[in-house]
Structure 1
Amino acid sequence: MGSSKLYLNPQGASARVSLHGGQVISWRNERGEELLFTSSKAYNTAIFKSPKAMRGGISICFPQFGNCGSLEQNGFARNKIWTIENDPPPLRPNDSLGKSFVDLLLKPAEEDLKCWPHGEVRIEGLETLDYLDNLCQRERFTEQGDAITFESEVDRVYLSSPQCVAILDHERKRTYVMRKEGLPDIVVWNPWEKKSKAMADFGDEEYKQMLCVDAAAIEKNITLKPGEEWTGRIELAGVPSSFCSDDLDPHLKFF
């Protein structure tokens, strides 16, 4: 899978980033607990060979998500070799308290430039939103539940989603909070039993251990004119298990 870099912060937490795709493949808290899912088959070189990306972790899907465009699945960025920025821009004020940062660079080739234009787990913050269901030919529905739970395969795109959502893992007494900017939609995916068994790069029972919740721009393309800039950002944080959806402030800024 190529080289990776390990980063530690003074509190003992760590993250490992694969330069193949600029993908975060491990995030451990100060107690050494792994907070990200990566398939047990991820390091099987018979399955994962360059330029194929690793299954799991936090990946960069750009400039498209899935097959919602004319490029390869999830775009070209996740199948390129990234480099570490040796002279990153300064951090925002108060952004360095208890945190570690790594800046990754993708230097596109000329070819790339032509393309640029479970009952125990629930998601709160997407209630009443419209979504596209990829299991029903991308038909549009409105979320009716007070939270999203999982009892079968789910493959949806929630449209015009709020800046902040929470993923509650009751079994592990753990909550993740995802904050985002510049990315209006949220993808929610779990392959469930049948599809898991059909995927060569995924363990038969691993659907019970993972859930994909990813921010994206799917319904409306992001188009830049010469000289324009666009920023997309996702921040994932682990918070105490007592956290509940009432704590979700739609105007909450990033940490």
Structure 2
Amino acid sequence: MWDFSFKVEYTVRIDESSLYTIMTVENKDQKAFDFTALLHTYLHVDIETMRVNGFQQEKCTNSLTGEDFVETSSQKSIDANVDQIYKNVSKEQVVESSLGKIKVYRKGLPDVVFWNPWVEKAKAMSDFNDEGYKNMVCVEPGFVAERKVLQPREKWTGSQWLSVV
């Protein structure tokens, strides 16, 4: 399937108030290769009361329109289909709703995808509940705005830490 040799490890650790996920990619080949990585984190929220902090002044691309902009809002909420890539994000995000508060930390993952399919896309997805958009938001750490290049024998690690606060 791939024309290069590599190793991927994905580690999950859970304690009473946190989830840690760690992805390590090792280039075992004699040539460089590139890739993207995105930790698809679906958080259970009440979409009507959900707010996300931590994107203000961050560079963003709206994947639905192609528009590039700098986020001006201190709190993000959702009332429509949203698919945004925040690039080289400098701080952690806090996701709040009537169901609680979760802090999203990351290391080695410079970008964050903010996503919710909303009504029409939720209905169009065969593996997604038609009303599921009301109870979820994705705040997904990743390496997506640019591809990560691994030189021969180089290793990369990206991790996230979700903490109930």
Which TM-score bucket, shorter chain as reference?
A: 0.7 to 0.9
User: Aligned to 2:84, which of 151, 156, 165?
Assistant: 156
Alignment of 1:224-243 (within 5 A): 224-239=150-165
Equivalent residue number for residue 60 of structure 2: 131
Where in structure 1 do 4 or more consecutive aligned residues deviate above 4 Å?
82-85, 96-106
- The unaligned stretches of length 5 or more in structure 1 are 1-70, 72-81, 86-95, 240-255
SS in 2 for 1:231: strand
Equivalent residue number for residue 95 of structure 2: 167
Q: Is this contact kept in 1: 2:113–2:139, CA < 8 A?
A: yes
Gap change, CA 1:128 and 1:197, over 3 Å in 2? same
Q: TM-score scaled to structure 2, two decimals?
A: 0.72
Deviation at 1:165, TM superposition (A): 1.2
Alignment of 1:166-185 (within 5 A): 166-169=94-97, 171-172=98-99, 174-185=100-111
SS in 2 for 1:223: strand
The structure having more radius of gyration, on CA atoms, is 1
- Write the distance in 2 (CA, Å) between the matches of 1:103 and 1:232: 6
Equivalent residue number for residue 193 of structure 1: 119
- Write the distance in 1 (CA, Å) between the matches of 2:33 and 2:131: 37
Equivalent residue number for residue 202 of structure 1: 128
Question: How big is each residue's C-alpha offset from its partner over 1:189-221, in whole Å with a ceiling of 9 and x where there is no partner?
Answer: 000011111111111101001111111112222
Equivalent residue number for residue 142 of structure 1: 70
Deviation at 1:163, TM superposition (A): 4.0
- The amino acid across from 1:157 in the alignment is I
Structure with more relative contact order (C-alpha pairs < 8 Å, separation 6 or more): 2
- The amino acid across from 2:93 in the alignment is V
SS in 1 for 2:150: coil
CA RMSD of aligned residues (A): 3.6
Q: TM-score scaled to structure 1, two decimals?
A: 0.48
Question: How big is each residue's C-alpha offset from its partner over 1:115-139, in whole Å with a ceiling of 9 and x where there is no partner?
Answer: 9523410110111212111110x22
Gap change, CA 1:211 and 1:99, over 3 Å in 2? closer
Equivalent pairs counted in the alignment come to 143
- The unaligned stretches of length 5 or more in structure 2 are 3-7, 35-46
Equivalent residue number for residue 122 of structure 1: 51
